[in-house]
Amino acid sequence: MRFSNDFLDEIRDRVPISAVIGRRVTWDRKKTNVSRQDYWACCPFHGEKSPSFHCEDRKGRYHCFGCGVSGDHFRFLTDLEGLSFPEAVQQIADMAGIAMPQPDLKAEQREKERTSLQDVMELATQFFQDQLQTASGARARAYLRERGLSGRTIETFRLGYAPESRNALKEYLAGKGVTKEQIEACGLVVHGPDIPVSYDRFRDRIMFPILSSRDKVIAFGGRAMSPDALAKYLNSNETELFHKGNVLYNFARAKRALQGADGAETLIAVEGYMDVIALYQAGIENAVAPLGTALTENQLQLMWKTTSVPVLCFDGDGAGQRAAFRAVDLALPHLKPGQSLRFAMLPDGKDPDDLVKSDGREPFDRVMAEARPLAEMVWRREVGAGGFDSPEKRAELEARLKQVVAVIADESVRRHYQQDMRDRLYGFFQSSQPGRNDRRGPGYQQSGRSSDRSGGRFAGRPGQGQAFGGVASVSDRLARSGLVRGHQEQPALRESVLALTIVNHPQLLDEDYDEIAAIDYENAALQRLWSALLTAVGGAGLHLQREALIARLEEQGHGAILRGLDQQIRNARLWTATENAAAEDAREGYRQALSLHKRSKALKRQRMELEREVAEATEADDAERIDQLITALHQVQLEITRMENQEAIIDGFGVMSGRIKGPAIGH
């Protein structure tokens, strides 16, 4: 039987291609990046010892760089297992949990009608293109030239012109044998019981064909040439082919840009047709646009099927901010691990067309590089009103943040957002109260810059035993804590929690072995312990009991560090890392410690990168760039210091963190 394109697309979208292929191959752990949905394996189509077979879930394609085979879900099954195409479709449909379509004469008739309507839309597109080149299309051609569009760009997007005449298109299509019912079904004329004679919907407008995901014209957008027109932009009405909230302008072309050899990183959503076209002409082919309305949930899901973190680009004015915040509320309930949004805010009064018209893509690329994560947009919105000078106001802010984050359906993502908001609140309330716990030291300056500047260069170099930008060294309390002594005497507290929790609860390894095994400890003794632990557990097939694991580790000479870890944890009263903790509590405490560990690592990597860039800018004597980098470096250093001070308080005094608390051991 013949399967509809909609059915094939649906089962492909529901089943990641890695799930199909993963049942026949073993993914290479070193090259595979699960978070990016990027998989590598030895090719099942030819013998090889090193993995050159690659597939990406977001593209739904596979390719072997050794033998050259490539294809989609169905091609993999037909080529590798010799299934017929219907058998391959049946297997994927079973994995998707979708019943196979039954023969339906009415559905087949509707599919034929849709195909015929697409033929009518193609005729209309050719008519509009031809009209653009006539005398009546001269003003439209002049307008497009003024907007800086080349002839090649106009041809690529198949731009056209709808004449002023009320019946020009209708008469043209009738002359091609198109019926009155088909013209009406395509939305090309205005008709109805109260309209005696139908007439062309689009008149005296520049025409923008709107394509389906399969590159078929399904609708039009028209830009009025007359300044007196009631609507500057007019879209086709809803038809059998076109449902406005489900379609993105330029989606098919942008998707191909992501899948190309030099594929773009993500989809970029901008406001309108002309923004998309101007960006394309500047070399940015991965932009899409909603069709004259705010972004819809279906359009957002369409982007997520193609890329994990699309970027929404808004004007920097008040209207743009409000649009961004609406998108935040739209996205929050649907966030998943690895699935989110970023927000790029344009300079006030500028749109993408303005940015790329004179200086090419570089100004727009800078805007994209500064795109903010969704969590930051949540934070900015809630603190934007200000006025948190009382405990009641601060409590109100905390309550609002809890309420906003509570709508996230995915438990894991919601938990990390809650943690992120708590971290932001802590830093915000500390910094907003002058004189309270200020550990920045005598060298701190509000600007975050070094006071020793001569001849456009900064005297100090980062990373040479000093805190760049005048941020003072850590406090005496911190210096005495386990954090600073990590490389010398005992591990940092968060590392101790991570290691000892697994020793006391080795069953956690069953849940996420790859992530846990990949933890990179700073403390040398912990590195040795961790290597021995993984070897012992691996040899027992991940089912080693706590007592047997500890016995093996002690036999290999790790008894002293195990006792030290246990004492450190008991002093800090972090009961979730002990053997007495329930499995659920141990798991939660472990996840929180791991989140802190990852955040600390990321900040330190960011600091090292900024320090390197400062050194390069200093060599180039780029004062403006140095100022920008120093400001960024200062903020990163403050965040690192804040995290370290928090840990020092716990380690030095046994005071419980608000994140991990419980009864003292032995009480």
Q: Which residue segment(s) compose the domain that 510 sits in? A: 453-653
pLDDT higher than threshold 70 for residue 225: yes
Chain mean pLDDT for the chain: 81
pLDDT at 504 over 50: yes
Strand-pairing partners, residue 287, are: 268
pLDDT tens, residue by residue, 457-472: 333 333 333 333 333 3
Query: Is the residue at 327 inside a domain?
Result: yes
Quick one: pLDDT at residue 544?
Answer: 65
Provide the pLDDT for residue 138. Answer: 95
The total of structural domains in the chain comes to: 4
What per-residue confidence (pLDDT) applies to 615? 78
Q: Name which of 47, 37, 40, 10 is nearest 26 in CA terms.
A: 40
- Determine, yes or no, domain membership for 664: no
Residue 539, in any domain of the structure: yes
Q: Which two tokens stand for residue 540?
A: 């027992």
* 73, 75, 78, 81 alpha-carbon torsion, rounded to 10°: -60
**Helix, strand, coil shares, percent, the chain, to 5:** 50, 10, 35
Mean pLDDT over 427-454 rounds to 46
Within a domain: 444: no
Residue 156 or residue 520, greater confidence = 156
Q: What does the pLDDT average to over 411-432?
A: 86
Tell me how far CA of residue 365 lies from CA of 298, 307, 656, in angstroms.
27, 18, 45
The reported pLDDT for the residue numbered 409 is 93
Residue 591 has pLDDT above 50, yes or no: yes
Is 660 part of a structural domain of the chain? no
What is the model's pLDDT at position 617?
78
Residue finishing a domain among 75, 96, 117:
96
Nearest to 249 by CA among 289, 301, 200: 289
285 and 236, same domain (yes or no)? no
Residue 616: predicted pLDDT = 77
Lowest mean pLDDT among 40-54, 154-168, 513-527: 513-527
Confidence check: pLDDT of 455 > 50: no
Between 111-125, 138-152, 643-657, the lowest mean confidence (pLDDT) is in 643-657
Domain final position from 195, 219, 242: 242
Please say whether the dihedral angle defined by the alpha carbons of residues 275, 278, 282 and 285, taken in this order, is positive or negative: positive
Residue 522: both structure tokens together = 């700073």
Residue 205 and residue 266 share a domain: no
Q: Does residue 605 sit in the same domain as residue 463? A: yes
What is residue 468's predicted lDDT score, i.e. its pLDDT?
Answer: 32
Do the domain assignments include residue 68? yes
- Asked if the model's pLDDT at residue 653 lies above 80, the reply is no
CA-CA-CA-CA dihedral for 444, 447, 453, 456, to nearest 10: 160
Distance between alpha carbon 426 and the CA centroid of its chain, in Å? 26
Residue after which a domain boundary falls, among 44, 61, 96: 96
